[in-house]
Amino acid sequence: MANHKSAIKRIRSSETKRLRNRYQHKTTRNAMKKLLETTKKKEAATLFPTVISMIDKLSKKNIIHDNKAANLKSNMAKHIATL
């Protein structure tokens, strides 16, 4: 266990951040999965901006790497183009 007051605070805050990051990442993954499973182009086109926004937010907060975000967005765009 931590010996200093600041270390205890750090443990508490890092756990809160971990849970928030985990929730946001999982929500984004579910949205991407939903987009990739759609077969209608119109439906996919309406989901696309929200999914891209979610990916950008994860990238901005360093939950995922910038290059991974770019690859994910590219794959989503390719999927919509092939529908």
- pTM of the entire structure? 0.88
Report domain extents, the chain: 26-82
Q: pLDDT category, 1, cuts 50, 70, 90?
A: confident
Alpha-carbon distance values, 72 to 33, 63, 67, 76, 78 (Å): 11, 14, 9, 6, 10
How confident is the model over 53-81, as pLDDT tens digits?
999 999 999 999 999 999 999 999 999 99
